[in-house]
Amino acid sequence: MRLLETVAGHEHGAPAKQLARETGLALPTTYHLLRTLVHEGYLRRDRGLFFLGEAAERLSSSGAQQKRRSTVTDTLARWRDVVGVPVYYAVYRDGEIGVVGVADTPGNPAVEEWADFRETGHAHALGQCLLAQLDERSRRDHLDRYPVRPVTPYTVRDSHSLLRRLERSQDTDLVTERQEYALGTVCAAIPLTIGTMAASVAISLPAHQADRLAPAVQQLRSEMRRLLGSLALSISI
């Protein structure tokens, strides 16, 4: 590992003797380890110089992805603890709605995904918020693939009504839905657009606590302004 770290510190490569000197390894040991690492793909040799290989780069990529996921998890947990309600984070990527992270507690559990979130975007706040951020063509393409259909007695009834609602939400930067996806639950979602990717952060509450929804949204907005940078770095997950 020390040898790999030393090679990584030389962008333009380094010879075996230099690597042995910098790592404090005996030269024969260094040669043996270098040959093994080249054979396994962790290093590559070019004109007597050693560079990181594809296997090492894959390790680096996986580690970076894990760090981004950890950042999302930590950020959502922070918002959950401050606001005191379950917090959700979703993105719209490659034509699909994807829930990236959820932070809840046993005392304040998240809404159970009893109907596929991807297919019922018209019924829940996260999906509606993501659809509102799309251009008209992408939005209609999504609804052609996943038509509006009743999920509960309170679900929006048709695509025309949904599109009008999405247009109104663009003016307020807020989507709320009451028992449209899950009976006994109210939700609110805030758009989060970074670069070209649409994303959304949402919260949920039991329907009998609906009066807490607006204050919780304001509190969430405040927290988002403080920690948006850390989440923005992880939006590409």
Q: What CATH number does the domain containing 26 carry?
A: 1.10.10.10
Q: What is the mean pLDDT of residues 31-44?
A: 92
Residue 226: pLDDT over 80? no
Output the CA–CA distances (angstroms, integers) from residue 236 to 19, 51, 65, 68, in the order listed: 36, 28, 9, 9
Contact between 203 and 214 under an 8 Å Cβ cutoff? The reply is no
Residue 123: pLDDT over 70? yes
Q: What is the mean pLDDT of residues 146-164?
A: 95
Check whether residue 84 and residue 17 sit in a common domain: no
Check whether residue 83 and residue 195 sit in a common domain: yes
Residue 213: pLDDT over 50? yes
Check whether residue 178 and residue 137 sit in a common domain: yes
Check whether residue 25 and residue 136 sit in a common domain: no
**Closest among 174, 143, 183 to 161, alpha carbons compared:** 143
Give residue 233's pLDDT: 42
User: What are the residue ranges of helices labelled H in 1-53?
Assistant: 2-8, 16-23, 27-40
Check whether residue 189 and residue 86 sit in a common domain: yes
Pair of tokens at residue 105: 């507690």
Q: Which is more confident, 230 or 20? A: 20
Question: Which residues make beta-bridge pairs with 92?
Answer: 97, 198
Give 59's pLDDT tier (boundaries 50, 70, 90). confident
Q: Which domain holds residue 100?
A: 64-232
φ/ψ of 44, rounded to 5, equals -135, 150
Give 55's pLDDT tier (boundaries 50, 70, 90). confident
Give residue 236's pLDDT: 47
Count of domains forming the chain = 2
Q: Which is more confident, 37 or 66? A: 37
Check whether residue 79 and residue 128 sit in a common domain: yes
Residue 184: pLDDT over 60? yes
Give residue 33's pLDDT: 94
Is 57 domain-assigned?
Answer: no
Check whether residue 8 and residue 125 sit in a common domain: no
Is 80 domain-assigned?
Answer: yes
Check whether residue 100 and residue 209 sit in a common domain: yes
Give residue 129's pLDDT: 96
Q: What is the mean pLDDT of residues 69-96?
A: 90
Residue 65: pLDDT over 70? no
Give 45's pLDDT tier (boundaries 50, 70, 90). very high
Residue 227: pLDDT over 80? no
Check whether residue 193 and residue 127 sit in a common domain: yes
Give residue 171's pLDDT: 79
**pTM flag (> 0.75):** no
Instruction: Please give the Cα distance from 117 to 101 (Å, whole number).
Output: 13
In terms of phi and psi (left: phi > 0; alpha: psi -120 to 50; beta: otherwise), the region of 24 is left
Residue 188: pLDDT over 60? yes
- pLDDT more than 90, % of the chain: 70
Q: What CATH number is given to the structural domain containing 179?
A: 3.30.450.40
Is 59 domain-assigned?
Answer: no
